[in-house]
Structure 1
Amino acid sequence: MIIFLEFAVLSSVFFFYYRSTSAQNRPLLLVMFISTFYYGVAGPLYWIYVNDGYFLDVFWGDKIIYAASLIVAYSILYGFFVSFRFRRSPSVAIVPLRPTSTGFWAMFGLAAISIAYVFVNGVALGGLNRSDPFILVFYQFSDMCIPILLYSIARKRFSPFNVVCLLVFSLYAIAVGFRYKLVLLYFPIILLLLGGEVKNARQLRQRVVGIGIALLVLSVFSVMTLTRKKFSGVDLSALSGVGSDVALYGLFAESNIIFGLLGVLSEFVDKHHYIFFEPIFDSVLELIPKFFLAGRSTGNYLMVGANGLISDQAINSGTAYPYFGEFLSMGGHLAAVAGVYVYACLYHRYSSLSRVAGAVNKDFITVGLGVLAVFFGYYNFSRGYLPQSVKGFIFVVLPYFYLISRHYRRVRLVNSDNLL
């Protein structure tokens, strides 16, 4: 009953946020609501009523409800910070520019080379070759293809070049077995197709195509859950003989972040054993390739959090925690509130840049808000490990905003009242 009450509160509050805030914040609120429903409502219900409260052969009972309550509570707080901004942006004039294509093609070339390298030295070999010192570096740079493609689509919609690149990158994402790449790429596209009012047959066709793409991505996402083999494609034979229990587990497997959260609470918050700025230092270190800094060691505190899962399988389970989990380990709930506020400020900073770029090309703002919504509301939501979030922001979010920033120059307007 408590979880159903949480859902009622969550729905009511986010409905209020959605109606009260500006239109530019609504995509993020929508994605946040869906993520919170999955991780804080539907997932816990699965673990309690289908899996009888067990995870890694450990009975968690009412602790599942406590973790779910925290996810809902922090999402409500996050939504508040997103919906109501307390600092007004200065008035600016926009001067349109005509950038050269050199920067775009340089970035596209780097991303294409990275994809080819990962495919040849990873997927084609049947798995990730960890002895290759460059494979993870190129894999990280391959994510730049997402913002580059989205920028190109915002400029030229579905040109033959863009369609071919979409297909190639989609096949690459399926081959390496990481579903998040498809979601990061296609959500802004779906938002672009579904946005605005339907005034003619062309816009109606766009809506139909957008809905079709959404259903297709959801289907591929679900199939990959059961068949993917990271860096070695998919094994469709895994679908044969799959029972409803296995299919249901595949649907809710990612919601195990509630147990990762319980591990963090047990080992850091309850014991007042905080790691303070270690995740920030690790975020910087992880940007340095290992062949430059062979002795670097990061994420050691993850082992401590895994001990809170009270299972011999904890270390190998790969159980993550939600976006505020790392802040809890840094300094408890006060640090988590501050961290969520920083995320909201970061979102507001870049959403305002989307709005500015929208004065040059209205699709820049739609796609930009889609990038921010799917990053902060989905990708970052279930990946509490700060170094991973930082790398995702650098390689997925920043390149898009760099590319659109070349199309304008901002000139701050001086308030005449200040001249008196």
Structure 2
Amino acid sequence: MVKKNKKSRFLLALLVYISIFFFLLIISMVIDTTYDAKKLFSACIAAYVIIGICLIIHIGTSGGDFFEPITFISILYMMLFIFEPMIDVYEDNLNWFGGNYTSFGVKGTWIAIAGYLGFFIGYRVERFSFASFSYNKLRYKVKKKPEEMEDDAYYTKVAVIFWIVCYSISVLFLLLSGKSLAFILTGGLTGNGDLLESRKMLGVLSMFSYCLVGAWMLYFVYGKNKSLKVITFILTVFIYYIRGYRFIIIIFVLAPIVFVYLYKQKRPKFVTITAAIIVMIIFVGFVAAARNSVRYGGGISNDMVNWDAALEQVKDNFRIYKTYYALVGYVPQETNYLHGQQIFLYTAFMFVPRIIWKSKPETSAGLYLIRDAISESAFLSGTAYPIIGEFYIEFGSAGVVIFMFLYGYLNKSWLNRYGLSYSKFDKIMYSILLLSNFQIVIRGYTPSNFYMVIFFVLPLLFIKFLKGIKRI
């Protein structure tokens, strides 16, 4: 049965891959656009062919799985560097903050391909072979192993304490930022929501809101009170919504769903996945449309829920590939690489509170490059760049390949350590780490992403730390 399902998935993936290729080929022949845009479209087709072959190899040799990091990351990667650029070429939507950076697109696409190959090799380095494997370990378990003894009552206690403490700190941060308690508890429906400049001095407090993901997941799995689960879930969503955390909300909402599928060794049907994508598009679009209004104390209205507007907001999250193109055209032609200033140096002192270090830089060198490469408005609007954009401005094309290799290896390590475990505790850890790739791939800013992941799983790490002390 396992071999049959594996073969069926491989044949289906191959059919879809070939069908999309011919569809894109036809579009490339009839599209009417500029010379640079046509070159970019062709480069994107080449990228699709190469990345698609890698995925086909993986599915053919390992079985493939929807909840495996390589599947998850590959979809996001192709949306950023293949499909969204193609859509924009087709719709003639190539300008970005008043500039057009399409001429750098071909170079940017080939660097992206090299980066993906680095990721692919890093992910499969333990078994980089074209030989067949008998089953996919993540989806199918040959033998049911006994679970590690888990203290449900103890985990529940830690979860509740962590959630209460971190929620209180999150509320305190919002109060000191100018939000009223009514505004916070109702998700911006009532109350006052002014935004004060003093919040910049309290940035370290804002990071504790990330802990709510791990704390709530622990209670979701080990807790008994269903009403408390629902209440804390809603209050957590309100916190993230007021902060404008679109993808953090998605990670938080999807984490329990992914956990249930993984633990029950089931996978969502195609109809379920399609429905979930539609709901996510509407939700992300709504949050994106309302985020500035809520952040600055404005209200929300029904006219913010609009399919076309929601779809455009989602597409804008992937259009940051244009920022990446601009950086490819600016570095190192106009300025030198950063050589680790952002990835290493700024990550090291980002957590130091401004109230202690008053002269701490307002932002990192990488973000200032956006102002220099594009415009002041792009910088002030907070436009970001994808994961490889950061690797590129730090160490160039070689940096993209090396860091994507390490990123692939890291995700495979998470899969081996937590994803293949039978422990509910490890499944919680894996669900959170897997979904963290949403933010990491699309928002390539290591200082923020590093602490985001650490605080996501801090309640779980705390439990592991206490377990380690007890063994000594």
**TM-score greater than 0.5 by the shorter chain:** yes
Q: 2:282–2:311: 8 Å Cα contact kept in structure 1? A: no
Distance 1:210 1:251, change over 3 A: closer
SS in structure 1 opposite 2:68?
helix
Runs (5+) with no aligned partner, structure 2: 1-27, 29-41, 129-145, 181-191
Matched, 1:386 2:446: yes
- In 1: Cα distance, 2:110 partner to 2:260 partner: 35
Distance in 2, Cα, partners of 1:265 & 1:40: 13
Q: Is the 8 A contact 1:10 1:72 kept in 2?
A: yes
* Gap change, CA 1:252 and 1:132, over 3 Å in 2: closer
Higher percent of residues as helix: 2
CA displacement at 1:335 relative to structure 2: 2.1
Mark the CA change 1:247 to 1:109 in structure 2 (over 3 Å): closer, same or farther: closer
Q: Quote the Cα distance in structure 2 between the aligned partners of 1:57 and 1:305.
A: 13
Q: Partner of 1:417 in structure 2? A: none
Contact 1:259 1:319 in 2 (8 A): no
- Report the CA distance shift for 1:250/1:216 in structure 2 as closer, same or farther (over 3 A): closer
**Distance in structure 2 (CA, Å) of the matches to 1:7 and 1:143:** 35
Q: CA deviation at 1:32?
A: 0.8
Shift of 1:299: 0.4
**Is it true that 1:36 corresponds to 2:77 in the alignment?**
yes
CA deviation digits over 1:183-227, x for unaligned, max 9? 12122222123347789xxx99x9999987765444322222223
**Which of 145, 160, 181 is the matching residue for 2:227?**
160
Query: For residues 345 and 63 of structure 1, do their structure 2 counterparts lie closer, same or farther at Cα, with a shift above 3 Å needed?
Result: same
Q: So what's the TM-score if we normalise by structure 1?
A: 0.79
Change (3 A) 1:42 1:345: closer
Q: Which residue of 2 aligns with 1:222?
A: 285
Distance 1:197 1:301 in 2: 43
Amino acid at match of 1:366: K
Residues 366 and 96 from structure 1, CA distance in 2 versus in 1: closer, same or farther, beyond 3 angstroms? closer
Aligned to 1:324: 388
Give the whole-Å Cα distance in 1 for the aligned partners of 2:116 and 2:168. 39
- Report if aligned partners of 1:148, 1:399 keep a CA contact under 8 Å in 2: yes
Other-structure match for 1:268 = 331
Deviation at 1:387, TM superposition (A): 1.0
Question: Which residue does 1:308 correspond to in 2?
Answer: 373
Within 5 A, what are the aligned runs for 1:267-306? Answer: 267-270=330-333, 273-279=336-342, 280-297=344-361, 298-306=363-371
Cα distance in 2 for residues equivalent to 1:16 and 1:63: 30
* 1:43–1:256 contact (8 Å) kept in structure 2: yes
- TM-score w.r.t. length of structure 2: 0.71
Cα separation, partners in 2 of 1:129 and 1:300, compared to 1, 3 Å: same
Q: CA deviation at 1:28?
A: 1.2
- Tell me how far apart the structure 2 counterparts of residues 256 and 211 of structure 1 sit (CA, whole Å): 22
Query: Cα deviation per residue 1:68-96 (whole Å; 9 max; x = unaligned)?
Result: 44334423431332233369xxxxx9974
Structure 1 residue matching 2:386: 3-state secondary structure: coil
Distance 1:402 1:79 in 2: 32
* 1:147–1:211 Cα change, 3 Å: farther
8 Å CA contact retained: 1:39, 1:68: no
Could you say what the CA RMSD is over the residues aligned between the two structures, in angstroms? 3.8
Mapped contact 1:322–1:383 kept (Cα < 8 A): yes
CA contact (8 A) 1:173 1:182 kept: yes
Distance 1:406 1:262, change over 3 A: same
Aligned to 1:175: 242
Equivalences for 1:14-413 in 2 at 5 Å?
A: 14-21=55-62, 26-85=67-126, 96=149, 98=151, 100=154, 103-121=158-176, 122-124=178-180, 125-132=192-199, 135-156=202-223, 159-195=226-262, 216-229=279-292, 231=295, 232=297, 235-236=300-301, 238-239=303-304, 244=308, 246-270=309-333, 273-279=336-342, 280-297=344-361, 298-309=363-374, 311-355=375-419, 358-359=421-422, 361=423, 363-375=424-436, 377-403=437-463
SS of residue in 2 equivalent to 1:85: helix
Report the alpha carbon displacement of residue 378 of structure 1 after superposing the two structures with TM.
Answer: 1.3
Q: CA deviation at 1:294?
A: 0.7
Deviation, 1:269, is: 3.4
The equivalent of 1:414 in structure 2 is none
Distance (Å, rounded) in 2 between the aligned partners of 1:221 and 1:387: 24
SS of alignment partner, residue 324 of structure 1: helix
> Are the equivalent residues in 2 in contact too, given 1:267–1:308 (CA < 8 A)?
yes
CA deviations over 1:106-148 (Å, ceiling 9, x no partner): 4223211123224434443424322246643322111110111
Higher relative contact order (CA 8 A, sep 6+): 1
Residues 133 and 291 in structure 1, CA contact (< 8 A), matched pair in contact too: no
> Cα 1:273–1:348, aligned 2, differ >3 Å: closer, same or farther?
same
Query: How far apart are residue 180 of structure 1 and its match?
Result: 1.6
Identity between Structure 1 and Structure 2 (%): 13
Partner of 2:54 in structure 1?
A: 13
Bigger mean CA offset, 6-15 vs 29-38: 6-15
Measured against aligned partners, the alpha-carbon deviations of 1:37-57 in whole angstroms (never above 9, x if no partner) come to 321123212332224421112
Measure, in 2, the Cα distance between the counterparts of 1:385 and 1:20: 33
CA 1:150/1:278 → structure 2, altered by over 3 Å: closer, same or farther? same
**1:285/1:63 Cα in 2 relative to 1: closer, same or farther (>3 Å)?**
same
